[in-house]
Amino acid sequence: MEDINAIAALQDPVRRRLYEYVVAQGREVGRNEAAEATGVARTLAAHHLDKLAEVGLLESGSRRLTGRSGPGAGRPAKVYTRARVERTLSLPARDYRTAAELLAEAAEQAGLDAGLCAAARRRGEALRGSAAPCGGLEEAAEVLAARGYEPYLEGPEEPTDAAAHVVRMRNCPFHAVAERFPPLVCGMNLALLEGLLGTDGPVRARMDARPGECCVVVENSKNNHD
């Protein structure tokens, strides 16, 4: 019932915009910032943000947004981040996670890493279909966004070389299973993205794990980290 209530809270379009904005930032967001970014009044934003925290979609805390401390630093402001808990809804009830974990455990014990990666790469190629390999980081980000990876561009604001940018991902669609079987599932994920994005185009996927994010990063192929 908690998951149903949480997901139902996103039915309100203003609430959904606020949730999507907070999630997209990957950091703490204050009420003023969220209100300005979504074009609503601060009081309305505060109401909806608190509702999202109440149903467990966001986590709230407080800190001084000025970065100062001591007298004259101002009162701490309420800030919000995406909740760490995962919400799922299936009618009728299904338990694909247990099946995935059992299959991952069996594959790991049997040493089937290479076979799994080969299958994942074929699946990625099948998902790409007849399309050419991704033509650049922006196109790769669009493909990744459609698969739920929540990509974002990272790099200097004014790079002298386009190669300075990479695409990182805030979400791993296989997070629950990857936590239990990281080498197996992260390798599978990399192979899947290699097939999906292509290995003979201007971008490439490689491992670059970062806490709280997907273990794969996408960069320009001319970057050489080998």
3-state secondary structure of 175: helix
> φ and ψ at 216, to 5 degrees?
-110, 145
The tokens describing 216, both together, are 């794969």
Amino acid at 186: C
C-alpha distances out from residue 97 to 100, 102, 112, 124, 164, Å: 5, 9, 19, 21, 37
Residues of the chain with pLDDT under 70: 1, 65-74, 157-163, 223-226
- Note the pLDDT of residue 80: 97
Q: What is the pTM of this model?
A: 0.85
pLDDT digits (tens, 9 = 90+) for 50-69: 999 999 999 999 987 666 55
- Determine the Cα–Cα distance for residues 16 and 30; give it in Å rounded to an integer: 16
- Note the pLDDT of residue 108: 97
Instruction: Give me the sheet containing 216-220, strands edge to edge.
Output: 151-154, 166-169, 216-220, 203-207
C-alpha distances out from residue 113 to 55, 183, 192, Å: 39, 9, 13
How high is the mean pLDDT of the chain? 91
Contacts with 40 (C-beta within 8 Å, 6 or more apart), sequence order? 14, 17, 18, 48
Conformation bin of residue 129: beta by default, left when phi > 0, alpha when psi is -120 to 50 = left
- Note the pLDDT of residue 226: 47
- Note the pLDDT of residue 75: 76
